[in-house]
Chain A
Amino acid sequence: SQTIHQWPATLVQPVGSPLSLECTVEGTSNPNLYWYRQAAGRGLQLLFYSVGIGQISSEVPQNLSASRPQDRQFILSSKKLLLSDSGFYLCAWRTGPYNEQFFGPGTRLTVL
């Protein structure tokens, strides 16, 4: 069966520090991968999506970046965190045009 992992679960970082969040998927191949940010327990903001290795689409201009070095690995990064980067970061995957997305457990990021 398919599973999706995200780590770390929680992270507290100072302003200006770098960031690396990792997401890996097991049990499927060639998934579409997504990074979302959720602020204050409400709506989801799509940050990046990827349809294949090395293929990244950015949805909003920001100081975050994403990479997909392997088929089932999706990394969210920043060189210098801002206070506004705080939030709950969710990774998701999907295969096939009719299918739902499957979400990871999320990473709670607090920037101080």
Chain B
Amino acid sequence: AQSVAQPEDQVNVAEGNPLTVKCTYSVSGNPYLFWYVQYPNRGLQFLLKYITGDNLVKGSYGFEAEFNKSQTSFHLKKPSALVSDSALYFCAVRANTGGFKTIFGAGTRLFVKA
């Protein structure tokens, strides 16, 4: 069965500092991995994805994520956090075996303090 774990309910970081939001996954076969961001009372917005190829994936708003197959992780990173990055972040996984369902993590709330 597929699953996604986001071990931190909340991450606090000062503006200008690097940020990391953690994600680990479990899936049969090779994974398709995604990060989404949600602002209050809005739908989710796609940030980036890993399908195949280079383990370091770059996405929107300066975010990037590194796929680590041995650790089954896909952590989201940004070199310098902005106050406007404060939001709820979701990691998601889908197996490459042709399924229709994407499994989402419980979400991590990011607070960036000025």
Interface residues in chain A, defined as those with a beta carbon under 8 Å from any beta carbon in chain B: 32, 41-44, 46, 49, 51, 57, 59, 88, 90, 92, 94, 97-98, 100-106, 108
Q: Within 8 Å of chain A (Cβ to Cβ): is B90?
A: yes
**A44 cross-chain contacts in B, Cβ below 8 A:** 44, 90, 104
The minimal Cβ–Cβ distance linking A58 to chain B, given in whole angstroms, is 12
**A94 cross-chain contacts in B, Cβ below 8 A:** 102
Chain B residues within 8 Å of chain A by Cβ, number:
23
Residues B23-63 near A (CB distance < 8 A): 32, 34, 36, 40-46, 49, 51
The minimal Cβ–Cβ distance linking B109 to chain A, given in whole angstroms, is 8
CB < 8 Å A-B pair total: 53
Interface residues in chain B, defined as those with a beta carbon under 8 Å from any beta carbon in chain A: 32, 34, 36, 40-46, 49, 51, 88, 90, 96, 98, 100-102, 104-107
Given contacts A42-B106, A42-B107, are A49 and B101 in contact (CB under 8 A)?
yes
**B36 cross-chain contacts in A, Cβ below 8 A:** 100, 103
